[in-house]
Amino acid sequence: MSFQSIDYILFLLAVVPVYWMLGLRVQNVMLLLVSYFFYGYLHPWFLVVIVTSTLFTYGFGTVIAKAVKPKRKYFLVAGVTGNLLMLAFFKYHEQLLSLWWAIAPRQETNGVVFNILLPMGLSFFTFQNIGYLIDLHRKRITSKANLLEFAIFVAFFPKLIAGPIERANAFLPQTINERRFSPEGVRDGVYLMVLGFFKKLVIADNTAVIAGKISLAAEPDFYLLWAGLFAMAVQYYADFSGYTDIARGSARLFGFKLSQNFNHPFFAVNPADFWNRWHMTLTLWFRDYLFFPLYAALAKQTQLVGVQIGGSVLVTFLLMGLWHGTGWNMVAYGVYHGVLMLTYVIVGRAVQTISPGFQLTNLLRVPMMFFFFMLGLLIFREPEPAVLIQMLSLSPGGASESEFVVASYLWGQAFYYSLPLWLQPLVEKWRQRMVQGWIVGFDTVVAGVLFLSILTMRSLHPSDFVYHQF
pLDDT tens for each residue of 377-405: 999 988 888 888 888 888 887 777 888 89
Residues 119 and 204 in one domain: no
Residues 161 and 251 in one domain: no
Tell me the three state secondary structure of residue 464. Answer: coil
Least confident among 136-145, 244-253, 367-376, 449-458: 136-145
What span, in angstroms and rounded, lies between the C-alpha atoms of 48 and 102? 31
End-of-domain residue from the set 181, 205, 229: 181
Which residues are identified as catalytic? 324
Residues 166 and 192 in one domain: no
Please write the tens of the pLDDT for every residue from 102-138: 665 555 544 444 455 678 888 999 999 999 999 999 9
What span, in angstroms and rounded, lies between the C-alpha atoms of 124 and 161? 7
What span, in angstroms and rounded, lies between the C-alpha atoms of 18 and 12? 10
Residues 128 and 236 in one domain: no
**Position 392 in a domain:** yes
What span, in angstroms and rounded, lies between the C-alpha atoms of 332 and 215? 20
Structural domain of residue 452, as residue ranges? 185-469
What span, in angstroms and rounded, lies between the C-alpha atoms of 421 and 428? 11
Residues 357 and 404 in one domain: yes
Residues 149 and 194 in one domain: no
pLDDT at res. 412: 94
Return the CA Rg of the chain: 24
Residues 321 and 298 in one domain: yes
pTM of the model: 0.91
End-of-domain residue from the set 130, 155, 181: 181
pLDDT at res. 102: 60
Picking from 236, 216, 256, the residue whose alpha carbon sits closest to that of residue 20 is 256
End-of-domain residue from the set 138, 156, 181: 181
SS (H, E, C) 312-363: HHHHHHHHHHHHHCCCHHHHHHHHHHHHHHHHHHHHHHHHHHHCCCCCCCHH
pLDDT grade, residue 305 (50/70/90)?
A: confident
| Mean local confidence (pLDDT), 1-28 | 92
Cβ atoms of 256 and 330 closer than 8 Å:
no
Residues 89 and 193 in one domain: no
**Position 108 in a domain:** no
pLDDT grade, residue 242 (50/70/90)?
A: very high
40: number of Cβ within 10 Å: 15
Residues 142 and 212 in one domain: no
DSSP secondary structure of 52-87: HHHHHHHHHHHHHHHS-HHHHHHHHHHHHHHHHHHH
| Mean local confidence (pLDDT), 255-281 | 95
Residues 390 and 360 in one domain: yes
Residues 362 and 410 in one domain: yes
**Position 232 in a domain:** yes
